[in-house]
């Protein structure tokens, strides 16, 4: 997400300057606030993609800012930064809606990696989903035309785009059964069940395959 707008909140001027310089090198727009109240004022006047806020600040601290920002701007992403960070702080911040927690001291590289991952995560996810849908659709089309070898190639491409989708492993299993590879099919039905135990087609196909019934071929 190039040209994303980031609000850096810290009561230390040097920290604000250092973070700004590190992030502007990635072509982000970076604004700063000196405390939580100043940040809320800026949020009222502009839209931001990400808030990077110190945890310990005079007046309104980072946790309080997190709560108010999430309440008023539920789509905004927030990363807490602190030299006083503990596991408890991180867990509490995540429960309240923070997307990450960065502990001082950190290097510019570590900061840029956290920010990049947070801002690009949604874009990458959408791209993977689009590529998965395309490959999955081609696999189903090839299967319907009984071009099973081509379908196997396409469904494996879909799995490579998103290996968390049980429907892809079920389709691969059905294709393998059709090609006489029952043992491999059973493995993939089990993978689908591991990914989502509630995905009924995986269990149905596993039950049928393990019965090894020649009269109950998979249909597409």
What pLDDT digit, counting tens, does each position of 196-220 carry? 999 999 999 999 999 865 555 666 6
CATH number at residue 173: 1.25.40.10
CATH number at residue 81: 3.40.50.2300
Instruction: Let me know whether 147 and 186 are in one domain.
Output: yes
Instruction: Let me know whether 79 and 136 are in one domain.
Output: no
pLDDT attached to residue 131: 87
Instruction: Let me know whether 9 and 99 are in one domain.
Output: yes
Task: Kindly state whether residue 12 falls inside one of the protein's structural domains.
Answer: yes
Instruction: Let me know whether 147 and 207 are in one domain.
Output: yes
Between the CA of residue 42 and those of 34, 37, 48, 63, 144, what are the distances in Å?
11, 9, 9, 17, 56
**Residue 20 confidence class, pLDDT cut points 50, 70, 90:** very high
Q: Which domain holds residue 90?
A: 5-106
171 has pLDDT over 80: yes
Average pLDDT, the chain: 88
Instruction: Let me know whether 13 and 99 are in one domain.
Output: yes
**First-to-last C-alpha distance (Å) of the chain:** 39
| Segment 105-143, tens digit of pLDDT | 889 999 999 998 888 776 666 777 788 999 999 999 999
pTM above 0.75, yes or no: no
Instruction: Let me know whether 58 and 151 are in one domain.
Output: no
| Segment 65-108, tens digit of pLDDT | 999 999 999 889 999 988 766 667 777 888 888 988 888 888 99
Task: Kindly state whether residue 142 falls inside one of the protein's structural domains.
Answer: yes
The dihedrals phi and psi of 169, each to the nearest 5 degrees, come to -70, -30
The alpha helices in the chain, defined as continuous H runs, are 13-24, 36-45, 62-72, 87-96, 108-144, 148-161, 166-178, 182-195, 200-211
Instruction: Let me know whether 82 and 136 are in one domain.
Output: no
């Amino acid at each position: 997400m190039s040209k994303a707008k980031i609000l850096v909140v810290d009561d230390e001027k040097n920290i604000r300057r250092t973070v700004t310089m590190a992030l502007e090198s990635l072509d982000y727009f970076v604004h700063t606030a000196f405390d939580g109240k100043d940040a809320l004022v800026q949020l009222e006047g502009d839209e931001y993609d990400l808030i990077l806020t110190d945890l310990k600040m005079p007046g309104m601290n980072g946790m309080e800012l997190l709560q108010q920002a999430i309440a008023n701007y539920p789509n905004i992403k927030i990363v807490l930064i602190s030299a006083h960070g503990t596991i408890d702080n991180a867990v509490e911040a995540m429960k309240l809606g923070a997307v990450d927690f960065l502990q001082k001291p950190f290097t510019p590289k570590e900061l840029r990696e956290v920010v990049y991952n947070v801002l690009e995560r949604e874009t990458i996810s959408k791209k993977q989903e689009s590529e998965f849908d395309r490959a999955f659709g081609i696999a189903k089309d090839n299967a319907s035309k009984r071009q099973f070898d081509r379908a196997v190639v396409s469904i494996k491409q879909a799995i490579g785009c998103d290996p968390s989708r049980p429907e892809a492993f079920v389709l691969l299993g059905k294709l393998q059964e059709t090609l006489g590879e029952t043992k491999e099919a059973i493995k993939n039905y089990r993978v689908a069940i591991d990914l989502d135990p509630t995905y009924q087609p995986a269990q149905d196909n596993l039950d049928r395959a393990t019965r090894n019934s020649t009269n109950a071929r998979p249909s597409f």
